[in-house]
Structure 1
Amino acid sequence: MSKQIQDAYIVAAVRTPVAKRKGMFRNVRPDDLLAHVLREVVAKAPALDPALIGDVIVGCAMPEAEQGMNVARIGVLLSGLPNCVPGVTINRFCSSGLQAVSDAANQIRLGQADVMIAAGIESMTVMNNMMGNKVTVSPAVFANDENRGIAYGMGLTAEKVAAQWQISRAAQDTFAVESHRRACAAIAAGRFQAEITPYEIVERLPGGQDGTVRERRRLATDDEGARTDVTLESLGSLRPVFHAGGSVTAGNASQMSDGAAAVLLVSERMLKQFNLIPLARFCSFAVAGVPPEIMGIGPVAAIPRALQQAGIHQQDLDWIELNEAFAAQALAVLKEIPLDPAKVNPQGGAIALGHPLGATGAIRTATLVHGLQRTSGRYGMVSMCIGTGMGAAGVFERM
């Protein structure tokens, strides 16, 4: 007997502040960051029995080294959740966190679970480089021209997008300045407070000649990357970093970052049984492939699919979190899909706030659902491009 598809609801969504690579979280292990958000998201629903959690699905783009060994299960154990709660790590590069939200929601929609946690974790500090701790590329990648796009660095794909969609350096720098302006304004106004769960950083340092150890504690409360002093003049002085004659710089690209987020989802039955108040309803999720050498355009292929599945039109969207991997790719997406710029990243994006790869989708989901609550918007979307040529988009409805 087939079961009717049921709705999945987000009842809590939290994230850490996002740190610069080798910044305030440089001595913090990623599994500890993950454990922190898992504890905090469950604490947001104290009436709910944690033993009912069907699974913890965690997105991570580089699941190796300190964030290897199935970091999802390690995070569950470190968080103090019951041993009966399992965990699985998934990887779809930059959309891993959003994929986790979709996979968790679908477990509920199909009636296979009533309570799920979706999360994302990424410490770019612990990675030796953007291709992981051990770089291996198949010889087949270089065997013919069709495959070579797979080996392109992300910056080179942004240069190709900038050239194909005629995105100027000035337009990219202007976009970057606005990202910082919006992010700084949001931080100053406390608009991220509802989603951020502060993290206490504990560092042990040499205490003096007697060999004692000194303990230093700091509370991380705000995102580290946003800057008030970013101007067109300061960005204009930066050199291209991926192509000698290019336009993509460190100033108009996303920041390498560390961070984590967790989202608690339940069925309607759990809402009623534990008297939970939903923040949002999961509506749809879609992924699509594009040529790897222009991977930044991926959202153009994914967004229409997600909107169609949700049964809405793009003009119905009140809030859009479009990950700013590069200003060039974000502007190209906006050229292809005429989204309202005022609704896109109203609190800044990854250029200012950072992009901790596999965690970003879950982080931006937290930003979206809390933003919709604060502004009384109805529909929102999270979307991003994905390395090797993909795009992803998820649609949510405020409750």
Structure 2
Amino acid sequence: MRDAVIVDAVRTPIGKRNGSLSGIHPGDLTAAVLTSLADRNGFDPAGIDDVVWGCVSQVGDQSGSVGRVGVLAAGWPESVPATVVDRRCGSAQQAIHFAAAGVIAGHYDVAIAGGVESMSRVPMGSARGDGQPYPPSVLDRYGITGFNQGIGAEMVARKWGLSRQAVDEYSARSHERTAAAIDAGAFDAQLVKLTELDVDEGLRRGTTADKLAGLKPAFEEDGVITAGNSSQISDGAGGLLITSSDIAAANGWTPMARIHTAVLAADDPVIMLTGPIPATRKALDRSGLTVGDIGAFEVNEAFAPVPMAWQAEIGAPDDVLNPLGGAISVGHPLGGSGAVLMTRLVHHMRDNGIRYGLQTMCEAGGMANATIVELLD
């Protein structure tokens, strides 16, 4: 039976909204990742069976099948196909799952999986336009007039008893850990160096809980969710080269990690952000591993209460949960975040000799992906 391994993983630095990457078309951000993978690994792009690319807001500058646009922008042969995946915030993580499944099934020999989002050029919600995505049958089922992730984050904070002080302390820690990672060079080997930007742009050094306490709640007048304890709106892309162990060996590639377990789960769509909890439990159950076996967890920091509630339920130690910071400190380019997080995770595992890592992220509709990867020597 074939396996699926990650040969390499790269990402652009993450640019803040209307910042250094806002002038780059998302097709060109995609192309930068594809070109970097080819240059680093010495493959002929004509041998890529598919580019599976995540993107959430597929309108405007992201409307032209942005994965295929990226292939063409990179100057790759016209024979290289691409497809675009939308599982909301988990789009690029789902792209990884699809590429891995294709390799294991023998549909692909070599694939690239990843994603992109330019939230500066295509603002969140653009795809909705003037339409109403939820019919009365759905709204009536839940007795609501619409779904809102910010309100969901407030619901999570209340359910798990997370105070404003606690979520601000977590958020300050995210900035602190990212600053330490950048200063230690932890991201250097994974970054696509762009002329416009060579380091994650959203980091705010010196952030403290006391400083964050001065921000006004964003969704409820007496709520705890602010711009400071939420993920940053941002631009960026990431991608992974995926194949089987046998094909990697035949090409002279040394894989970084094996995709050990890949699962999906879904939960209450109103509170919306709790899906990582059942997804993690499902991944651990299916893999036969325990929390103690996992040396690093990447739980996307959509809002601080998401990883905090997850931790309360799963019981992971502080030092292995988002050890390099996360979306609160550097940003969350929606369709690309799954690949950005996986790139951070596998490089961190390799740099620190960690055998197993687990990544999960909340997604609109109450869904979540969870992926366990195993380090390979």
> Would the alpha carbon gap of residues 61 and 183 (structure 1) be closer, same or farther in structure 2, given more than 3 Å must change?
same
Structure 1 pair 330–58 and aligned structure 2 pair: CA distance change class (3 A): same
**Secondary structure at 1:388 match in 2:** helix
Summarize the alignment of residues 40-59 of structure 1 with structure 2, pairs less than 5 Å apart.
40-46=36-42, 48-59=43-54
RMSD of the TM alignment (CA)? 1.5
Q: Classify the secondary structure of the residue corresponding to 1:121.
A: strand
Structure 2 unaligned regions, length at least 5: none
Residues 1:379 and 2:375 are matched in the alignment? no
Secondary structure of 1:304 counterpart: helix
Residue 12 (str. 1) matches residue 8 (str. 2): yes
Aligned to 2:109: 114
Alpha-carbon distance in 1 for matches of 2:124, 2:12: 23
Q: Which runs of 5+ in 1 are unaligned?
A: 202-219
- What's the TM-score once normalised by structure 1's chain length? 0.91
Alignment partner of 2:298 out of 317, 321, 339 = 321
Looking at structure 2, the residues matched to 77 and 229 of structure 1 have their Cα atoms a distance apart, in angstroms, of 42
Give 3-state SS (helix, strand or coil) of 1:305's partner.
helix
Q: Equivalents in 2 of 1:363, 1:149: separation in Å?
A: 34
Asked if residue 260 in structure 1 is aligned to residue 260 in structure 2, the reply is no
Given that 1:150 and 1:293 are in contact with CA atoms closer than 8 Å, whether structure 2 keeps it comes out as no
Cα 1:133–1:200 shift into 2, 3 Å? farther
Q: Does the Cα contact within 8 Å between 2:139 and 2:146 map onto a contact in 1?
A: no
Q: 1:387 to 1:378 in 2, by over 3 A?
A: same
In the alignment, which residue of structure 1 is the partner of 2:316?
339
Find the partner of 1:163 among 154, 158, 161.
158
* TM-score (normalizing by structure 2): 0.96
Q: Which one-letter code corresponds to 1:188 in the other structure?
A: D
Superposition map of 1:20-169 within 5 A: 20-46=16-42, 48-132=43-127, 134-138=129-133, 140-141=135-136, 144-147=139-142, 151-169=146-164
CA distance in structure 1 between the aligned counterparts of 2:36 and 2:254, rounded to whole angstroms: 17
Is 1:354 paired with 2:331? Answer: yes
Aligned residue number for residue 176 of structure 2: 181
Give secondary structure in 2 for the equivalent of 1:94. Answer: coil
Contact kept, 8 Å, 2:356 with 2:375, in 1: the verdict is yes
Following TM superposition, by how much is the alpha carbon of 1:233 offset from its aligned partner in structure 2, in angstroms? 1.6
Q: Report the alpha carbon displacement of residue 69 of structure 1 after superposing the two structures with TM.
A: 1.3
Report the 3-state secondary structure (helix = DSSP H, G, I; strand = E; otherwise coil) of the residue aligned with 2:90. helix
What is the rounded CA distance, in whole Å, between the counterparts of 1:13 and 1:139 in structure 2?
36
Q: d(CA) in 2 for partners of 1:111 and 1:119?
A: 20
Question: What is the deviation of 1:320?
Answer: 0.8
Look up the equivalent residue of 1:125 and give its one-letter code: S
Moved more, 48-57 or 318-327: 48-57
Residue identity in the other structure for 1:165: W
Greater Cα shift, 232-241 or 144-153: 144-153
Residue 95 of structure 1 and its aligned partner are, at CA, apart by 0.5
Residues 128-160 of structure 1: CA deviation (Å, up to 9, x unaligned): 443536142146248754245682221111011
Larger Rg belongs to: 1
Contact 1:255 1:351 in 2 (8 A): yes
The 8 Å contact of residues 59 and 126 in structure 2, kept in 1 or not, is answered as: no
- Separation (CA, whole Å) in 2 of partners of 1:358 and 1:304: 24
